[in-house]
Amino acid sequence: MTPAPHRPPAPPAPVPDATTAGDGTPTGKGVGQAPCHHGELLQGVFLDAHGGRCAGLVTLPLDGPGSRAEFVRRPGTPPQAVSVTPADRGKAGRAAALAVAECAGLAGLPPEGGEVRLSSDVPMGLGMGSSTSDVIATIRAVADAYGLALAPGAVARLAVHAERASDPLMLDARPVLFAQREGRVLEVLGPALPALVVVGCVLGGGAPVDTLALPGREATETDVQEYERLRGLLRGAVARGDARLLARVATASARRGQRVLRHPEFDDLVAVARHTGAAGVQIAHSGAVAGILFDPAEPGDLRDRLRRCRNALHRHGIPTTRTFTTPAPNPGGTPDAPSAPSVTSKEFPDGPAHRRGDRSARPDTPRRPSRLPAL
């Protein structure tokens, strides 16, 4: 299939960095929340609107787990004097200090340090954006303490400064190609992803992946051409609501990612997808979370296919987590102004994760790397 020609998206209309939250009165205390994701559908090196190379990714939204932050300002303290609970969330601490400087300037108030308290049920090291979720929740909490709501672009800029690379969790669930090291949208691919049912699982027993220890690999011209081809196919899949084509793109991207990640179960994952009638697979390119993608429009008993898929994964020693759908589009959009998709997805509550129950998370308890997370 020939990919659709690449048309660089029109530059977005200018938006203010912040608007007032509520009545705009700073209270000295704020709260913020952020979701996570289920790894990538596509990740690689792409061309931006000027023809320059740019690392980018398209994530798979996941409704449910996330991070919540509270920030309390301490009058008279320097802006760098930020404490974080749990104490191991250093990126959130850097984000808080950056957000204090930004928000104080926008609000016309003196920058002050404070205390961040975080709670999260996003497992670490699985490639689900746990650190980005913490960072964004923290930035939003600081802004709220100054009576502001920062625009997504401002949140993205601060998040990248805090952790060097950021997932697009500050945006709505609309599928975008996001430059994670620059904090900018390379392309809005469409109003919503095609309908998919995802059987989630973890590779490597769920052991965390140290992304900084992974070997680097410079993208060749051939690599960039292939990533651009997959980008065009994904754009077409979103435009036509073609779940099968989207899954083909995700599988090709996952296979390319194995040149670095080298998950020993990857071939088994693909074989299970093929033998159970799935459309393809996706993985986190910086972690161990993965999913087998089903097209719910395919004829036959979907629940039976999902059950056989989970059983097959267990036989291969691959733990399953939750089974969920991609977010559905919100009604009321128009061709010229499509509405953002709903962030709520349907779940199939017969998976083992639901029998065990979710792990509780408290702000005074450090998030523990889990080998078998109940997502």
Average pLDDT in the 161-182 region? 94
How far apart are alpha carbons 282 and 269 in whole angstroms? 10
- Look at residue 47 in the predicted model and tell me its pLDDT: 96
| pLDDT top residue among 110 and 208 | 110
30, pLDDT greater than 70: yes
209, pLDDT greater than 50: yes
Ranges of each domain in the chain:
18-163, 191-356
Class of domain 191-356: alpha beta
Average pLDDT in the 21-32 region? 75
- Look at residue 206 in the predicted model and tell me its pLDDT: 77
Residue 161 pLDDT class (50, 70, 90 cuts): very high
| Pair of tokens at residue 127 | 């490639």
Total-model pTM: 0.84
- Look at residue 285 in the predicted model and tell me its pLDDT: 85
Residue 12 pLDDT class (50, 70, 90 cuts): very low
Other Cβ atoms less than 10 A from the Cβ of 20: the count is 14
CATH numeric code, 18-163: 3.30.230.10
pLDDT tens string 267-287: 999 999 999 999 999 999 888
374, pLDDT greater than 60: no
Beta bridge partners of 202: 289
346, pLDDT greater than 70: no
85, pLDDT greater than 80: yes
Residue 353 pLDDT class (50, 70, 90 cuts): very low
69, pLDDT greater than 80: yes
- Look at residue 299 in the predicted model and tell me its pLDDT: 93
Could you tell me if 185 and 12 are in contact, meaning their C-beta atoms sit under 8 angstroms apart?
Answer: yes
Residue 337 pLDDT class (50, 70, 90 cuts): very low
